[in-house]
Structure 1
Amino acid sequence: MCGCQIPHEKVFKHPLRREGEQHGVTVQSFCFGRYPVTQAQWKAVASFPQINRELNPNPSHFQGANRPVECVSWDDAEEFCLRLLHHTKKQYRLPSEAEWEYACRAGTKTAFHFGETLKTDLANYNGKYGGEGDYRQETTEVGSMKFANRFGLYDMHGNVWEWCQDHWHDSYEGAPTDGSAWINTSHNPKGRILRGGSWYTGLANCRSMRRLYANSGQEHNTYGFRVACSSSWIL
């Protein structure tokens, strides 16, 4: 799977609820999908042997082999990663929330990796609510905006919300400082985190720091994901 190796960062300032509230996180080098997982990739991996649960090979509302897969839950995305891991013997997984934000920002400190605002020729979001541009009312093919961040990653703002490993917590107080996922089944066992905004959301929800909460079994035509890999292999 096509991807980029994200460099090691000694200390990354991970925001709390606003860009001004931050805490330091050490993020180790990892590989990350250049694009969200496409429907063609999903269909291929859905044909691999089942690990924990069945996968619908064609779950998406907006059809297109090179569009991002959507209408997938966190549980579905986790099963996808497990099947890919067992098939390739490489450590594929969902990213931690800290990894996702570090990859999205790519060294920037602004609201978006493009700068302080967006236009819909840079990202697929609802231009009626902030920024400048149109409302496409559907997903677009991955990478079709043709603008990557400094790490070579596309569609980090808009198109589909992306699942992260972490359980939901109301703040980052007590969160890991090593960039790993914050797993706490006793706190909120089904609540998981999505990042990045979507084709449906307005400008504010596409900001690098914006977080969304959803049940791990919830599906929606704005929910997708991309995969990370802990090894030095390129995805």
Structure 2
Amino acid sequence: MKKSEIQIFLAHASEDKPAVLALYNRLKQAGYKPWLDEEDLIAGQIWRDEIPKAIKASQIFLACLSGKSAKQGYIQRELRIALDTLGQMLPGTIFFIPMRLEECEIPDLRSAEVGLNLRDIHRLDYWKENGFEQLERAITYQFKLEPEELKQSVIVPEEPKKLLSVFNFEIVGVNAKGEQIKKESKQSQYFAQDLGNGITLEMIAIPGGTFTMGTEDEEIERLVKKFNWDGFRWERPQHRVTVSSFYMGRYPITQSQWKAIAATAKIDIDLETNPSNFKGDELPVEIVNWYQATEFCKRLSRETKREYRLPSEAEWEYACRAGTTTPFYFGETITGKFANYRASNTYAEEAKGEYRQQTTPVGQFPPNAFGLYDMHGNVWEWCADTWHDNYDGAPRDGSVWTENGNDNRSPLRGGSWCFNPYFCRSAYRGFNNRRDFSSFYGFRVVCGAGRTL
């Protein structure tokens, strides 16, 4: 049997998706055929129908376990859904592997075997350094992989593997009055890019998916009427976009990160090492135009041997929303307690807050569900696209949109410390000339998942 013929179904809890996505990518790189709902379900497919089909087509059921999934029974339920649907239709054997993403108890999953011949290959500890190697050895032995196939295995570089880490954080939610109505624990995976002298750049794993970009016409007209601003019409037409997985900076680029890269050799243009108006190593860099931001990306790519760039507008909005459909990733409104903007003005029914009149250190406010900080306010963030007045003809794959655009201008997203709250919305599109700079223009970087794992 060949590696490419071994389909591996990854059963997991939604909270563990960043770690499971990393495992999915490693399996894919190694030549296997992993199946993960978020990566392999097509828009419009019904997951309750497709998951049993995927299990039926798989040779291995890989139960990805964490303390939360094991305790709350997510994996048992997913297995039972498949079994209840398929009944006795599953012929033969599917090999079952419990694999721990972190140190936790392995629950008794064998009690769920109704109509399915489950056989353990091994009990694996992926959270330990040699966990993936254990998995490879177990599969090789059980499926008697062809020698030629083993020679062609893709070896995952040691350095990136060691740099991949998981961190825990809390997100909050507010109602239209700005009252906190939710607090929830989340987990994301990231790697830390070494920039030298103790300075690192933390890149968060953003799982691929499909989302609705822009704002519906009725809401746009309500906003135009309420705030007397035609710029909301730049957010139409609302459309579906499918984004591939990528990595995005946990924070906007800070002044210490800027200095580390700006001090390296020039590629196209010179960079001032300390351009910002508000000084502080952990403050976001500002007074940076689009050309300077892209020069930073080119130098960063050269220094790290990874391809860094500005995000596309679609990637930025997808990452900002992090699965939400509300105006802000916090919910129906925004408050000065949770973001840095002109909080003396209000968006909905919330009370007025503090207008700080300057940037704040990155990471000071609660992140979104992907673990990204400062996506609302602090500094506007440059995107790679050329400017278009609306989304007519926009790509549906999340790619950078340059065709038929104004290549003297580029989008800016997220609002800033001195802008009103409605400019900070997830869907709002700002723009400026690529040569313009200001104390409220900054940026963050992205890189492709394939370059990192």
The answer for unaligned runs of 5 or more in structure 2 is 1-200, 221-236
- What is the deviation of 1:232? 4.3
Range with bigger deviation, 20-29 or 121-130: 20-29
- 1:88 is the counterpart of 2:308: no
Helix, strand or coil for the counterpart of 2:261? helix
Q: Which of 17, 35, 41 in structure 1 is aligned with 2:257? A: 41
* Paired residues for 1:96-111 under 5 Å: 96-111=312-327
Counterparts of 1:187 and 1:152, CA distance in 2: 32
Q: Contact 1:17 / 1:209 at 8 angstroms: preserved in 2? A: no
- 1:136 is the counterpart of 2:356: yes
| Higher gyration radius (CA) | 2
Determine what percentage of the aligned residue pairs are the same residue.
Answer: 53
User: Which amino acid in the other structure matches residue 229 of structure 1?
Assistant: C
Counterparts of 2:396 and 2:405, CA distance in 1: 19
- What is the deviation of 1:176? 0.7
TM-superposition CA deviations, 1:205-230 (whole Å, max 9, x none): 00001111101111000000000001
Counterparts of 2:215 and 2:335, CA distance in 1: 25
Q: Contact 1:31 / 1:233 at 8 angstroms: preserved in 2? A: no
What is aligned with 1:122? 338
Q: Contact 1:68 / 1:224 at 8 angstroms: preserved in 2? A: yes
Helix, strand or coil for the counterpart of 2:320? helix
The answer for unaligned runs of 5 or more in structure 1 is none
Range with bigger deviation, 14-23 or 186-195: 14-23
TM-superposition CA deviations, 1:38-94 (whole Å, max 9, x none): 000000000111110000100000000000000000000000000001111101000
Helix, strand or coil for the counterpart of 2:385? strand
What is aligned with 1:75? 291
TM-score (norm 1): 0.95
- 1:193 is the counterpart of 2:411: yes
Helix, strand or coil for the counterpart of 1:3? strand
What is aligned with 2:429? 211
Cα distance change on mapping 1:174 and 1:16 into 2, 3 Å: farther
- What is the deviation of 1:234? 6.1
What is aligned with 2:205? 5
- Structure 1 outlier segments of 4+, above 4 Å: 16-21, 232-235
Counterparts of 2:252 and 2:407, CA distance in 1: 25
Counterparts of 2:216 and 2:354, CA distance in 1: 28
Q: Contact 1:59 / 1:72 at 8 angstroms: preserved in 2? A: yes
Counterparts of 2:450 and 2:337, CA distance in 1: 33
- 1:57 is the counterpart of 2:268: no
- What is the deviation of 1:187? 3.6
Counterparts of 1:129 and 1:74, CA distance in 2: 29
Helix, strand or coil for the counterpart of 2:293? helix
Cα distance change on mapping 1:187 and 1:102 into 2, 3 Å: closer
Helix, strand or coil for the counterpart of 1:189? coil
